[in-house]
């Protein structure tokens, strides 16, 4: 049965986040031949609407408002609810990002709808979507289904293959005017810490360090490797607690959950809290001098050795491959 599915796209620093395209791919499955409508919010949308069409959306709704320039819960909740009311979709899909995690439960409460968060796959069973999500820090998976009302779902980045981009696709792009009132929060200024050129949550390759790196200076070698291979730099909580790295780069149960294609765990023992944030990486390479370190239980490739001896060799080898 064909359904209309609404995708909440996410724009960051003027560009669409890749998880927006992953959400479109999920919406296509749920729609089952029906219409996929993408909604974009901000003060200036520009060509982003066309990008959503090229990446699989059938129609795009743009919502431009001065109060949507920077994300605030009140403003985005009001704007999204008005679009949902106008479109009346069967389901609403968005990324399991900081924004998605904040606004989705509020939308579910307002709509009296079921919410399935942190989805890693979806299938149609009996004409209805069934979502798979990890539980128990990734040790197991459960299947969830919303039996009545609007279905809300947030998609974990880097788990759903995006549709093939087709620049010949065309679709209707329209704008919607919304009313935003009684804001309790107003953004005056946005100050961001520089955490590298690659977004950690959507990175395909991550070079991550732990306490074994021993110092902030020790992370410079990790940054050099990351620069060579186009990776993002991450850290364990131990490394962050020790002051070796900023908490914005923390990966784990109390940090970011990542699922890159390739994850380097350097000087990381593999505490369960860290594994909860990266164990679903497609390929894991571990470097640790302790052969009994738990990280080797999840690693696809392991190097038992002193990282200060191994890492320079790895960097030199990468230089010969990338440059040579």
Residue 193: per-residue pLDDT: 64
Pairing of strands 262-266, 283-288: parallel
Domains and CATH numbers, the chain: 5-175 (3.40.50.620), 200-322 (3.40.50.1220)
Asked if 203 and 261 touch (Cβ cutoff 8 Å), the reply is no
Residue 93: per-residue pLDDT: 98
Confidence of residue 323 (pLDDT cuts 50, 70, 90): low
pLDDT of 76 above 90:
yes
Mean pLDDT of 220-225: 95
Residue 324: per-residue pLDDT: 57
Q: How many CA atoms lie within 13 A of 100 on its CB side?
A: 27
Residue 185: per-residue pLDDT: 87
CA distance 290 to 182: 57
Q: Which residues contact 78 (CB under 8 A, 6 or more apart)?
A: 178, 179, 180, 181
| Percent residues over pLDDT 70 in the chain | 97
pLDDT of 202 above 90:
no
Q: Which residues of 140-173 are buried (b: 16+ CB within 10 A; e: fewer)?
A: eeeebebeeebbbbbbbbbbbeebeeeeeeebeb
Helix pair angle (219-229, 307-322), 10° resolution:
20
Mean pLDDT of 203-231: 95
CA distance 56 to 243: 43
How many CB atoms within 10 Å of residue 66? Answer: 8
How many CB atoms within 10 Å of residue 89? Answer: 24
Q: How many CA atoms lie within 13 A of 299 on its CB side?
A: 20
Q: Which residues of 216-225 are buried (b: 16+ CB within 10 A; e: fewer)?
A: eebbebbeeb
Residue 274: per-residue pLDDT: 95
Q: Which helix (H) or strand (E) holds 102?
A: helix 98-111
pTM beyond cutoff 0.85: yes
CA distance 163 to 158: 13
Asked if 279 and 298 touch (Cβ cutoff 8 Å), the reply is yes
Q: Which two tokens stand for residue 313?
A: 């060799």
Mean pLDDT of 319-324: 74
Q: Which two tokens stand for residue 172?
A: 């209707």
Mean pLDDT of 299-311: 96
């Amino acid at each position: 049965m064909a359904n209309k599915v609404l995708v909440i796209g996410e724009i960051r620093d003027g560009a669409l986040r890749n998880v927006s395209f992953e959400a479109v791919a999920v919406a296509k499955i749920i729609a089952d031949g029906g219409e996929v409508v993408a909604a974009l919010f901000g003060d200036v949308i520009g060509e982003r609407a066309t990008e959503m069409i090229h990446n699989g959306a059938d129609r795009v709704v743009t919502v431009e408002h001065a109060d949507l320039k920077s994300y605030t819960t009140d403003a985005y909740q009001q704007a999204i609810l008005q679009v949902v009311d106008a479109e009346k979709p069967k389901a609403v899909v968005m990324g399991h990002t900081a924004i998605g995690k904040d606004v989705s439960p509020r939308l579910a409460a307002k709509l009296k709808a079921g919410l399935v968060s942190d989805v890693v796959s979806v299938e149609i069973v009996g004409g209805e979507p069934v979502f798979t999500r990890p539980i128990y820090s990734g040790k197991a998976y459960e299947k969830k289904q919303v039996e009545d009302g609007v279905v809300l779902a947030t998609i974990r980045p880097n788990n759903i293959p995006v549709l093939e981009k087709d620049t010949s696709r065309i679709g209707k792009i329209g704008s919607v005017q919304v009313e935003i009132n009684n804001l309790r929060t107003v953004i005056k200024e946005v100050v961001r810490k520089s955490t590298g050129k690659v977004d950690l949550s959507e990175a395909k390759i991550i070079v991550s360090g732990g306490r074994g790196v021993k110092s902030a200076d020790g992370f410079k070698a990790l940054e050099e490797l990351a620069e060579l291979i186009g990776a993002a730099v991450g850290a364990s909580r131990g490394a962050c607690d020790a002051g070796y790295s900023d908490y914005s780069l923390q990966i784990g149960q109390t940090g970011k959950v990542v699922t890159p294609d390739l994850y380097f765990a350097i000087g990381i023992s593999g505490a369960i809290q860290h594994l909860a944030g990266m164990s679903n990486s497609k390929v894991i390479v571990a470097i640790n001098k302790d052969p009994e370190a738990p990280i080797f239980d999840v690693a696809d490739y392991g190097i038992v050795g002193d990282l200060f001896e191994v890492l320079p060799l790895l960097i030199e080898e990468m230089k010969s491959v990338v440059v040579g």
